Amino acid sequence: DVKVTQSSRYLVKRTGEKVFLECVQDMDHENMFWYRQDPGLGLRLIYFSYDVKMKEKGDIPEGYSVSREKKERFSLILESASTNQTSMYLCASSWTGGADTQYFGPGTRLTVL
């Protein structure tokens, strides 16, 4: 079975802190994705990566950056956390460019105070 893990289920940070959200997949998938989910807005794509050291902006990249130094790991970085970044963050991975099935991690619920 595909396994996508995220470093924390719950995280509380203060405004202005630098926050790292880690995602690891164990199926040698080329593609990895970061989404955020908010009530009434659904899931929105922040960034994705088709290969190591490659990244593409999604629909809402502002305030975020990403890092993919190894194939199995995709990190989402909040350079200076703000209260409007309080959300559920979901990581996903898949085999090919985008048409293949995406598998999701359990999510990290981030609260920024």
Partner 1 sequence: DAKTTQPPSMDCAEGRAANLPCNHSTISGNEYVYWYRQIHSQGPQYIIHGLKNNETNEMASLIITEDRKSSTLILPHATLRDTAVYYCIVRGNTPLVFGKGTRLSVIA
Q: Which of 48, 68, 76, 87 binds partner 1 (CB under 8 A)?
A: 48
Nearest to partner 1 of 69, 97 (CB atom): 97
| Least CB distance to partner 1 at residue 46 (A) | 11
Q: From CA 78, how far away is CA 96, in angstroms rounded?
A: 27
Asked if 35 and 92 count as a contact pair (C-beta separation under 8 A), the reply is: yes
Sequential DSSP letters for 14-65: -TT--EEEEEEESS--SEEEEEEEETTTEEEEEEEESSTT--EE-S--TT-E
Q: Which of 11, 45, 60, 77 binds partner 1 (CB under 8 A)?
A: 45
Nearest to partner 1 of 2, 77 (CB atom): 2
Asked if 31 and 50 count as a contact pair (C-beta separation under 8 A), the reply is: yes
Residue 1 CB partners (closer than 8 Å, separation 6+): none
- 43 sits near partner 1 (criterion: CB under 8 A): yes
Binding string to partner 1 for residues 86 to 105, with x set by CB under 8 A, is what?
Answer: ----x-x----xxx-xxxxx
- 4 sits near partner 1 (criterion: CB under 8 A): yes
Q: Which residues make up the interface to partner 1 (CB under 8 A)?
A: 4, 33, 35, 42-45, 48, 58, 90, 92, 97-99, 101-107
